[in-house]
Amino acid sequence: MYSLGLTIYRKRWTVLAFWAVLLLIALPLAPRATNALKPGGFSNDNLPSAQARAVFRDKLDLTPMSFELIFRSDTYGAYENGFTNDLQAALSQIGTRPEVTRVITHLDDPARVSPDGRSAHVTIGLNLDLEDAREFLETARPLIEPGDLGLTFTGGPPLYADISLSSERDVRRAEILAFPLSTIALLLVFGTLIAAFLPATVGGVGVILALAAVALISRGVDMSVFVLNIVTLLGIGLGIDYSLFFTSRFREQLAAGDSVEEAVATAQATAGAAILFSGVTSLIGLSSLTAFEFMMLRSVGIGAVIVIIAAIFAALTLMPAMLGVLGPRVNAFRVIPSLLSRTDRDMWGSLSRWVMARPLMVAVPTVLFLLLLASPVCGIRLGTVDATILPPELESRRGFDILRDEFGLLNQTEVPVAYVFDEAEDIDPLSPGNLERLYAFGQALEGLDEVTRVRSIVNVSPDLDTNTYATLYRVPEAVTDLTVQTLLRDSVRDGAVLFLVESDVEPFGPEASNLVSDIRAFDPGPDVALFVDGGSAEIKDVVDSLYGRFPVVAGIVIIATYLSLLILFRSVVLPIKAILLNVMSILASYGALVFIFQDGHFASLLNFEPIGVIEATTPILLFSIIFGLSMDYEIFLLARVSEAYKRSGDNAASVAEGLKRSGRIITGAASILIVVSLSFLVADVVLVKAIGLGLAIAIFVDVTIVRALLAPAIMRLLGPLNWWIPRWLDRILPRIDISP
Amino acid sequence: MRGRFTFIAISAVALLAFACADADRTVPVPTPAALSPTPAPVPLAFPKDEGAHENRLEWWYYSGHLQNESGDEYGFHFVVFQSLDPLASGDSGNGQGPAYAAQFGLTTVSSGRHIHEARFSGGEQPQSGPGLSGLQVADWSLSANPDLHTIDVGTDDVRLSLSMIPTNPPALHNDIGWLAGPTTGWTYYYSRPRMAAGGMLELDGQRFIVSGDVWMDHQWGEFFVLGNPAGWQWFGIQLDDGTELMVTQTRNVDGDIDALYGSFIEIDGSLKSIGLNPGELELITEGSWTSPHTGAEYPSGWVIRLPEEELHIEIYPVVDDQEIISTRPDSAIYWEGKVSINGTRAGSPITGDGFVELTGYVFPEPLPWRILSTVDRHVEVAE
C-alpha cells in the first residue's frame, strides 16, 4: 500500500487526469440511472402467490394489472345524464385501446358509487406488466377528458409512478441537504475549507461514478428505484468517511514533519489499508443482499457493492492524488478551530478507564437499556408497501384514500382463491357434480374463523343449497340477478372457479397470514388444485421467503465478518464481541423503527402517516447496511486497541488508548454518516425515511452507548481472553497489519 | 457460550418470521351441513306486512287507470324494488345498506305516447311506523299503509302525485299469500286489486286532477328471477262488474311453460285460487309485437278463459310500445302496459281495464358486458 501511495503521488496529475476523464464519461450517464430503474421488486415469480397469479391470468382471465379512475361531480348524481354523458366521453377513447382489456364502471356494478351518490370509480384493466402499465399512463392521461367531472387517477401503475417520482425527488432533496450538512460537519472536524471540501468532493465523485455504473448495469439487470437512495446514502456517507480517515492521517503525518510524498504514502499504507479492509467488510455485509430472490433487495445489494467499490476506489486513488497536489495547502482557509486539534483527546480514555473500573455496573444497565430500546421489536409486524408510504397530497395517494374512506375498499382482507379442476376431468364447473364439490368448498371457507363473507357462485345466499344452485345455473345466460351474473361473468371459466374470501382482519397482520395458511391447508380432493393469491398471501410468501433465507444469509455474513476480524486482530473472542455488540445496535434500531414507524410515535414531528407495519425488506436492508458500516468503526477502534495491546500487553490500558486515539475520528465519521442518514428524513416515501432514521439510530447507538460504555466494559470483563488465539490457528492465519 | 449468544441475538428477527410460519398440513374439505328447511310461511299481518322486510328481493307495484276531468285516459305504473344482496352490501361490503330502484311509466291512451324513467338510491331508511312511510328513491317517494297509499313521482315531462285508498281487503294469493317461485326460491305475495285513486297529474306543463283505479302488488322473499328464455306473463285485470283477476304464467330456463295460476277476486274481496286443477284456467296468446328498441318479440293480444266462472275475455294493449328499458345493468328490460278488456261473463258482455307484465323476452347481452355499450344504451334511452 505504501508503494501504491508513492506511485500515486508521483503520477498525481495523471491520476487526476484519469479521474477527470472518468468523470466526463460518468457525468452524462449518471442521470440516466433514474430512467432505467424500476418500481416494485418486492416479489418474485417463485412464490406460491406469484404462481397463483399466473393461474388467475391463464385460467380465469384475471389480469392483475389495472388502474382506477375516480370521477366526481358536485352537480350531478352518478346516474344522471350530466354525469354519465361526461363519463362516456371520458372513456370513449381509452376503451378502444388494444392495451385495455376491460372497463368496468358503476353502470356495470352499482357498488362502484360512493354513498353520497356523486362519485364513481372505474377500473381500467390492462394486458401489460407493471413497467409498461406505468408508461401507458402517459398515453392514457390525455385520452381521458373528464369534462365537468373531477378525475383522480390511482391504482397500481399510478402509485408506482408516484413512488418512483417521489423516490427520485427524495434523493434530490436529501442530496441538497446532505452535502451542505456533511460539509459543515467536516468543517467542524477539520476546521479548514480545503480539508472539509476534499472528502465531500470524493464522496460526490463516488456517487456519480456509481450512478453511471448503475445506469449501465440496469440495461441488462432489473434495478429498483430504491437503488438511487441507497447509492446516494452510502456513497456520500462512506466516501466522506473514507476520505476523512485518509485526510486526517495525512494531516497527522504532515504535522509530524513528513514530506508530502511520505505523508501520502504513509496515509495510504495505514488509513488506506484500513479503508480497504473495512470497505471489504462492508462489501461482505451488503453483498449478502444479492442472495435474495427479490429484485428490490438484490438490486440494492448490487448498487451498494458498486458504490462501496467506487468509494474505495476514489478514496485510495483520487484522494491521495488530490492531497499530493494540495500538500500543506490542505490546511488552508481555516474558518473554525478543528475538533481534531482540540486537546480533549483523553476524554475517551478517561471515560473508558472509568467504565473499566466498574465493568459489571456499567455493562448490566447498558445491556438492559439496549434491550429496552430493542423491546418494541417483539411486536414487529412485517408488511409490504402500499400507497400509505406516499404523502397524502399526491394524486395516486389521494385516490387510494378516497377508495378506502369513501368506497370502503382496501380496508379489509380479501383473499382470492382459484379452484382449478384437473383438465382430464369434467371441466364444466357448473355441472351438478362439480357444483356439489364447489358448494362444499364454499361452505368450508365460510366456516373458517375470521371469514366474514365469501363471494363465489356457490356462496350467493345462505338459503341456497347444491340443488338450488344446479337449477339456477342450468342455463347461466338466464340469470338476471346482477350479482350472480357478475359472478358468472368474472369468476367462472372452463375448469376454474374464483372464490373471494373476505375478512375483517388487517390484510398484513398475522391473522391474515393464518387465514391464508388455513385456506391453503384445504385438500379439495382428487383432480382439483387450489391457488391462493392476494396481498395477504403475497406478503406471507414474501416474509416466509425473506426470513426463511435471512438466517442463512445473516449466518454467512457473520461468519465472513468473524473470519475477517479473526485474521485482522488475531483473536478468537474479540470478533464475537464485535458481532454481538453490532447485533445489539441493530436490534435497538429495529426497536426504534417499530416504536416510530409501526406504532406511529413522533409521526407528526417526522411528518409521516404510520403504516402499521414495518416493510418486510427494511430489517434485512438495515441489517446488511448497519452490519457493514458499524464494522468499519469497530475495525478502526480495534485496530488502535490491538496496536496498543501489542505494544503494552496491558488489556485495560490498550482499550483506553484505542478509544482515545480513534475516538474523534470515529465520532466525526459517524456524525457525518448520521447527518447524511438523517437527511433522508425529509423524504416523502416513508420507506426511505425509515431506512434513513434506522441507520442514524443504529450508528448513533453504536458509536456512543456501545463504543463508549459496553465495549470497554466487556473487554475489561473478558480480560486476557480478548486476545486468546490457539497457537496452531495463529500460525495458519495470514498476517495483515493496518493502523489508521 | 458467547457464540451461542450471538446466534440467539441475530436469530431474534428471524424468529419473528418463523413464529408466523406453520408446518405443512392439509385438511379435507368437510361435508357441508344440510340447509335448514325453508321456513314455513307465517300468516300475513297488516299493517306490518305492508312495510319492508329483510329479504333478498321485495317490490311494491302499482298499476292504474286514470282519467282527467276531460275524460282523457292514462295508464301508469310505478314500482319500487328493494334489494338486500349479502354479496353487494352489508357490513362487509360498501356499507350502503339496501339498494332501491324505482321505475315509472305513463301511457297516454289518446296519443299512444309512453314515457318511462327510473331512479336509484341506496341506504337504510328507518321507518317511523309499521307500514311504509315516505320511502325515498332519489326524488320519488312512496308510502304504503293499509288505509292509504301515496306516490309522488316526477320526470322532466310528467309529475304524478296520487293518493290511493284500498276498497277491499288484501288478496292473499295461493290463499295464504305465499308461494314458491317465481323461479327459484319462495315469496310472499298479496295484492290490493282495486284502490280508489285521486291526485294531480302534470303533463307537459299542464295540470290535471285525475282519478281512477289502481292495482297494487306487494312481493318479498328469497328468490332469484331468471331471464330469457325463462320469464313470465302477468295479468292484473279489473273487470267492470267489480271482480278482479290475477293470472301468472311462468316459463322455465328451457322456455317451457311450467306454471299457470291465478286468483279470482269477488266483489266482496273473497279470493279463489285458480289454475290448481287442469282446465280451470286457460291462457292463449293471440299475436306478437317486436320492439324497435331491443328487437325483442313480445306476445301481444291474449284470451283468458275461466270455465268455472263462465268468463271469457280478450285482452289487447292500448298502445303497442310500452316497453320498459332499464338504464342500468341491474334492472331488467320488460314490457309493462295498459290493456283493455272485452269479453263475456255468464253470457253477458263484460269490459275492464288491466295491466300486463311480460318478462324474459330480451336475450341477455353477451358476456362479458361492455361498459361502452351500456353507456350508449343509457344515452339512447335518455333521449
Model confidence over B218-256: pLDDT tens digits? Answer: 999 988 888 788 889 999 999 999 999 999 999 988 889
Least Cα distance to A281 among A616, A670, A604, A582 occurs for: A582
Predicted local distance difference test score (pLDDT) of residue B94: 44
* Helices (H), ranges, chain B: 2-20, 371-382
Predicted local distance difference test score (pLDDT) of residue B21: 40
Q: Do the beta carbons of residue A520 and residue A453 sit within 8 Å?
A: no
- In whole angstroms, how far apart are CA A595 and each of A366, A455, A592, A699? 20, 37, 5, 17
Tell me if residue B158 falls in helix, strand or coil: strand
Predicted local distance difference test score (pLDDT) of residue B36: 63
Q: Are A576 and B3 in contact (CB < 8 Å)?
A: yes
The answer to whether B30 contacts chain A (CB < 8 Å) is yes
Q: What 8-state DSSP symbol labels residue A406?
A: T
% of chain A beyond a pLDDT of 70: 95
Q: Do the beta carbons of residue A420 and residue A59 sit within 8 Å?
A: yes
For A564, the grid coordinates are 475477517
Higher pLDDT, B147 or A112: B147
For A557, the grid coordinates are 455474513
CA B128 to chain centre: 24
Contacts of B27 in chain A (CB under 8 A): 521-523
Which residue among A408, A444, A584 sits closest to B30, beta carbon to beta carbon? A444
Model confidence over A555-593: pLDDT tens digits? Answer: 888 888 888 888 888 889 988 988 888 888 889 889 988
What is the SS3 string spanning A234-303?
A: HHHHHHHHHHHHHHHHHHHHHHCCCCHHHHHHHHHHHHHHHHHHHHHHHHHHHHHHHHCCCHHHHHHHHH
Average pLDDT on A294-312 reads 88
Predicted local distance difference test score (pLDDT) of residue B181: 61
Please tell me the distance from the alpha carbon of residue A508 to that of residue A542, in angstroms, as a whole number: 11
Please tell me the distance from the alpha carbon of residue A76 to that of residue A148, in angstroms, as a whole number: 10
Tell me if residue A339 falls in helix, strand or coil: coil
Beta bridge partners of B76: B64, B106
Average pLDDT on A471-478 reads 82
| pLDDT exceeds 90 at position B172 | yes
% of chain A beyond a pLDDT of 90: 15
Contacts of B85 in chain A (CB under 8 A): 481, 483
Model confidence over B43-91: pLDDT tens digits? Answer: 999 889 999 998 888 999 999 999 999 999 999 999 998 888 766 643 3
Predicted local distance difference test score (pLDDT) of residue B37: 64
Angle at A39 between CA A34 and CA A43, to 5 degrees: 145
What is the SS3 string spanning A12-51?
A: HHHHHHHHHHHHHHHHHHCCHHHHHCECCCCCCCCCHHHH
Q: Where are the domains of chain B?
A: 48-382
Please tell me the distance from the alpha carbon of residue A280 to that of residue A274, in angstroms, as a whole number: 10
pTM score > 0.90 for this model?
A: no
Which residues 264-323 of chain B have a CB within 8 Å of chain A?
none
Least Cα distance to A532 among A5, A56, A38, A79 occurs for: A56
Contacts of A524 in chain B (CB under 8 A): 29
- In whole angstroms, how far apart are CA A589 and each of A612, A693, A694, A698, B13? 17, 8, 5, 5, 12
Cell 371457507 belongs to residue:
A445
Please tell me the distance from the alpha carbon of residue A221 to that of residue A36, in angstroms, as a whole number: 10
Tell me if residue B104 falls in helix, strand or coil: strand
The answer to whether A584 contacts chain B (CB < 8 Å) is yes
For A242, the grid coordinates are 473514507
Enumerate residues 6+ apart whose C-beta is below 8 A from B340. B315, B316, B318, B351, B352, B353, B354
| pLDDT exceeds 90 at position B334 | no
Average pLDDT on A159-166 reads 80
The answer to whether B37 contacts chain A (CB < 8 Å) is no
Please tell me the distance from the alpha carbon of residue A503 to that of residue A535, in angstroms, as a whole number: 13
Model confidence over A98-139: pLDDT tens digits? Answer: 888 878 887 766 678 887 888 999 988 888 877 788 889 889
Helix, strand, coil abundance in chain A, percent, nearest 5: 70, 10, 25
| pLDDT exceeds 60 at position A211 | yes
Model confidence over B7-45: pLDDT tens digits? Answer: 333 444 443 333 334 445 678 888 877 766 667 789 999
Contacts of B22 in chain A (CB under 8 A): 514, 517
Average pLDDT on A505-526 reads 86
Which residue among B18, B368, B375 sits closest to A107, beta carbon to beta carbon? B375
Predicted local distance difference test score (pLDDT) of residue A554: 86
Please tell me the distance from the alpha carbon of residue A207 to that of residue A201, in angstroms, as a whole number: 10
Predicted local distance difference test score (pLDDT) of residue B238: 96
Task: Kindly state the greatest CA–CA separation across chain B.
Answer: 112
Q: Which long-range contacts (CB under 8 A, 24 or more apart) does B243-249 make?
A: B243/B267, B244/B171, B244/B191, B244/B193, B244/B194, B244/B215, B245/B304, B245/B306, B245/B311, B246/B171, B246/B173, B246/B191, B246/B193, B247/B274, B247/B275, B247/B281, B247/B283, B247/B304, B248/B182, B249/B283
**Angle in degrees, 0-180, between the axes of helices A193-217 and A226-255, rounded to the nearest 10:** 150
For A482, the grid coordinates are 346482477
How many other CB atoms are there within 10 angstroms of residue B69's CB atom?
9
CA distance B21 to chain A (A): 7
- In whole angstroms, how far apart are CA A517 and each of A104, A613, B27? 32, 20, 11
Please tell me the distance from the alpha carbon of residue A301 to that of residue A625, in angstroms, as a whole number: 9
Predicted local distance difference test score (pLDDT) of residue B183: 57
Predicted local distance difference test score (pLDDT) of residue B89: 45
Q: Which CATH architecture has domain B48-382?
A: Beta Barrel (2.40)
Beta bridge partners of B271: B265
Tell me if residue A736 falls in helix, strand or coil: coil
Predicted local distance difference test score (pLDDT) of residue A72: 94
Predicted local distance difference test score (pLDDT) of residue B10: 42
Please tell me the distance from the alpha carbon of residue A499 to that of residue A489, in angstroms, as a whole number: 13
Q: Which domains are seen in chain A, by residue range?
A: 2-39+162-388+540-732 (1.20.1640.10), 64-161 (3.30.70.1440), 423-526 (no CATH)
Which residues 279-338 of chain A have a CB within 8 Å of chain B?
none
pLDDT grade for B348, boundaries at 50, 70 and 90: very high
Please tell me the distance from the alpha carbon of residue B155 to that of residue A659, in angstroms, as a whole number: 88
CA distance B79 to chain A (A): 17
| pLDDT exceeds 60 at position A553 | yes
Q: Are A84 and B30 in contact (CB < 8 Å)?
A: no
ipTM above 0.95, yes or no: no
The answer to whether B45 contacts chain A (CB < 8 Å) is no
Which residue among A483, A514, A590 sits closest to B85, beta carbon to beta carbon? A483
By mean pLDDT, which of A250-264, A342-356, A517-531, B126-140 is the weakest? A342-356
The answer to whether A105 contacts chain B (CB < 8 Å) is yes
Q: What's the mean pLDDT when you consider all of chain B? A: 82
CA A197 to chain centre: 30
The answer to whether B111 contacts chain A (CB < 8 Å) is no
End-to-end CA distance of chain A: 12
Which residues 405-464 of chain A have a CB within 8 Å of chain B?
407-409, 412, 437, 439-441, 443-444, 447, 452-453, 455, 459-464
Tell me if residue A363 falls in helix, strand or coil: helix
Model confidence over A409-452: pLDDT tens digits? Answer: 766 778 889 999 887 555 788 888 889 999 999 999 999 988 98
Q: What's the mean pLDDT when you consider all of chain A? A: 83
Please tell me the distance from the alpha carbon of residue A534 to that of residue A537, in angstroms, as a whole number: 5
Nearest CA in chain B to A490: B368
Tell me if residue B312 falls in helix, strand or coil: strand
| pLDDT exceeds 90 at position B310 | yes
- In whole angstroms, how far apart are CA A328 and each of A31, A270, A464, A720? 36, 19, 91, 42
Average pLDDT on B108-130 reads 83
Predicted local distance difference test score (pLDDT) of residue B373: 31
For strands B113-122 and B132-137, give the pairing. Answer: unpaired
Least Cα distance to B245 among B343, B147, B333, B162 occurs for: B343
Predicted local distance difference test score (pLDDT) of residue B213: 96
